[in-house]
């Protein structure tokens, strides 16, 4: 069960990064200035793209913290192994 939760969490982490990058690129390409909020791309107006970008960033932070919590022990084992190799 724990492995399943880790896998789902990692998939959602990747998905949130992907969504954040794509929405960021789209926001960069959309026009700016007065009246640009009415621009529609792929069925969403600029404000909706901004909201999507913001919330995907929040989810990225959430799933990153979960990832660090789930793999904390593995992280420190790898650090210890690297220290042994350096000596």
Mean pLDDT, the chain, rounded, equals 88
Q: Is the pLDDT of residue 5 over 80?
A: yes
pLDDT (tens digit per residue) in 15-28: 999 999 999 999 99
* Cα pseudo-dihedral 26, 27, 28, 29, rounded to 10: 50
Q: In whole angstroms, how far apart are CA 45 and each of 4, 15, 20, 35, 37?
A: 36, 21, 16, 11, 6
The predicted model gives 41-47 an average pLDDT of 85
Instruction: Give Cβ neighbours of residue 50 (< 8 Å, ≥ 6 apart).
Output: 27
């Amino acid at each position: 069960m724990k492995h399943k939760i880790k896998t789902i969490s990692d998939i959602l982490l990747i998905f949130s990064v992907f969504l954040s990058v794509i929405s960021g690129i789209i926001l960069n390409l959309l026009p700016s200035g007065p009246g640009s909020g009415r621009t529609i791309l792929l069925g969403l107006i600029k404000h909706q793209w901004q909201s999507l970008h913001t919330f995907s960033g929040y989810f990225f932070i959430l799933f990153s913290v979960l990832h660090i919590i789930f793999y904390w022990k593995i992280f420190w084992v790898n650090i210890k192994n690297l220290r042994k190799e350096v000596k």
